[in-house]
Structure 1
Amino acid sequence: MKNYKLIWFGIFCCLQPLILFAQRGETIRKAFLDPKSDQVLVVAHRGNWRSAPENSVAAIDSAIQMGVDIVEIDIHKTKDGQLILMHDDRVDRTTNGKGLIKDYTLAEIKKLKLKDKDGNLTEHIVPTLEEALLAGKGQIMFNLDKAYSVFDEVYAVLEKTGTASLVIMKGGQPVETVKSEFGDYLDKVIYIPVIGLDGKDGEKKVRDYMTQLHPAAFELVYSDSSSPLPRKVKSIILGKSRIWYNTLWASLAGGHEDDQALKDPDGNYGYLIEELGARILQTDRPGFMLDYLRKKGLHD
């Protein structure tokens, strides 16, 4: 009997990390929905594309292994109506094929090989949305880009894979448009608005969303580093919803972007967090950002 107990104890010890890892997605979702949390969530743009082809299962898996919270992936539809991952509407840049995605069937897409960040061919192939979701199910959240116009079809895949609760949708439409066009899904997936702060109506759009939908987060975009609006909007949102900034390139966050952060992380990532209230950051350098946040006690 004692030997059996030891065996079962050993099995439990081996499985426990796997069980906890599989529950990580729900832990991330809980943090995402907590506007008072100081933890900064990290979004890997197109997965960790520095180690594997962008929008590939391998890029998603790499992001998961390093501890990223959310992966941003791009959706397109093939000639035969299948949903795949690819940013461009053509296959030329990221594969060894030529032409428009809409002119390829899924079977034809699957014959192509993906290129890495340097343009070299790899053995990786283009995943379907279903394959990508299943690869990260339970371990990470997904931000689906370029999916708004085909969301009826996207949602069918979310239901099939059981991943709707871990999906984030974004859009730049006014709140009235979103309620009209996307209303059926607002209680099924997380929807967050993208608000440009360079125009005069940015503050009004934020207030309209806070009043009518109170989203879990706002993605804020501004290019003018002297603008007072990011700080003003912070005072409206912080503690009520999370604030999301993109550090992919300078025009998205007043010049505070990844390449500048390599030289001065406090003056870029730190500025967005401390001065502008960022609690979600989308990056092309997830490894570097995670190291920085962990040193600051802002990420596990």
Structure 2
Amino acid sequence: MNKRRVIILICFLVQIVVSHSQAQHNQLPKTKNKVVLIAHRGNHVLVPENTVASTKEAISAGVDYVEVDLRTTRDGYLVALHDATVDRTTNGQGKVSEMTLSQVEALQVFNRNKKTLRIPQFHEILEVCKGKINIYLDFKDADPEKTWKQIKVAGMEHQVIVYINKKEQYGEWKKVAPNLPLMTSLPENVKTEAELNQFLDHFKVEVVDNVTNPEFLKVLRNRKIQVWLDVQSPTEGPQKWQEALDRGAEGIQTDKPGELVRYIRNNNP
């Protein structure tokens, strides 16, 4: 075999390896809607966010995922809470990381509809979701090993995607659960296609959120990485939903899960 053929063969093999590596993704949880639909903090417009009740309402709405924010109490229990403090959503004050589980569970969770509930432990959310809805786990402040253990005990290994908030969380999750699908946002310093490819070469994720740049979308589609868009806001409605669909979003996170499900089914059969 002459030198020219050897070079051509090497280039061909390198291309195959690169293409193969780009195509390797962990399997996302099964979904039922044409577009992946996520209830932001549960159906929290109807009932308090990140509670068992808002999770049940998300299931009733017919979406594919319920978003759950995860934090840890001072004594090491995993609880569903968005903020670092309990000030906004409960009748208490202080950082959840400085409170014991008994202190956290004694609080009343409320919102504008005046219903009062409590902050649930993560295992309670898992039990409600099993076989009914997937979990989009917004990993705020918790231990991946302890979290994965609870996921396995609940039999939810194939019903969870983890949203990575910090760079170090990526390595921790890859070590603990290498086959679990991961999601993240693009760093602010990713400004070019080359920088995007470099980032994706180091962080093997299945989903990124809120990308609308056409060139970036092309890169992500070539790599078989899904894009999920956040449309949740007090003013969200058909216009924003259709804009997300027109952009080709594979997933949409919403504050109005029931209405969005109906819109998708009626307008995008």
TM-score (normalised: structure 1): 0.71
Amino acid of the structure 1 residue aligned with 2:114: N
Is the contact between residue 143 and residue 167 of structure 1 (CA under 8 Å) also seen in structure 2?
yes
- Deviation at residue 202 of structure 1 after TM alignment: 5.5
> Can you give the 5+ residue segments of structure 2 that lack an aligned partner in the other structure?
1-27
Question: Counterpart of 2:4?
Answer: none
Q: Choose the corresponding residue for 1:159, options 128, 152, 172.
A: 152
Give the secondary structure class of the aligned counterpart of 1:164. Answer: coil
Please give the residue correspondences for 1:1-300 in structure 2 after superposition, counting only pairs within 5 Å. 29-31=29-31, 39-116=34-111, 118=112, 120-122=114-116, 124-147=117-140, 149-171=142-164, 180-185=171-176, 187-196=178-187, 199-201=189-191, 203-208=193-198, 210-211=200-201, 215-221=205-211, 230-238=213-221, 240-249=224-233, 259=235, 261-262=236-237, 265-266=238-239, 268-274=240-246, 276-297=247-268
Q: 1:204 and 1:289, CA in 2 relative to 1: closer, same or farther beyond 3 A?
A: farther
- After the TM superposition, which parts of structure 1 deviate over 4 Å for at least 4 consecutive aligned residues? 209-214
> Can you give the 5+ residue segments of structure 1 that lack an aligned partner in the other structure?
1-27, 33-37, 222-228, 250-257
CA distance in 2, matches of 1:108, 1:148: 18
May I ask how many residue pairs the two structures share in their alignment?
Answer: 241
Aligned residues: CA RMSD? 2.7
Amino acid of the structure 2 residue aligned with 1:271: E
- Deviation at residue 241 of structure 1 after TM alignment: 2.5
Q: 1:107 and 1:244, CA in 2 relative to 1: closer, same or farther beyond 3 A?
A: same
Give the secondary structure class of the aligned counterpart of 1:195. Answer: coil
Write out per-residue CA displacement over residues 204-231 of structure 1, whole angstroms, 9 at most, x where no aligned residue.
Answer: 454235556653322234xxxxxxx611
Identity of aligned residues (%): 27
Give the secondary structure class of the aligned counterpart of 1:115. Answer: coil
CA distance in 1, matches of 2:267, 2:217: 21
CA distance in 2, matches of 1:158, 1:200: 33
Amino acid of the structure 1 residue aligned with 2:76: G
CA distance in 2, matches of 1:131, 1:246: 26
* Greater percentage in helix: 1
Give the secondary structure class of the aligned counterpart of 1:30. Answer: coil
Is the contact between residue 145 and residue 176 of structure 2 (CA under 8 Å) also seen in structure 1?
no
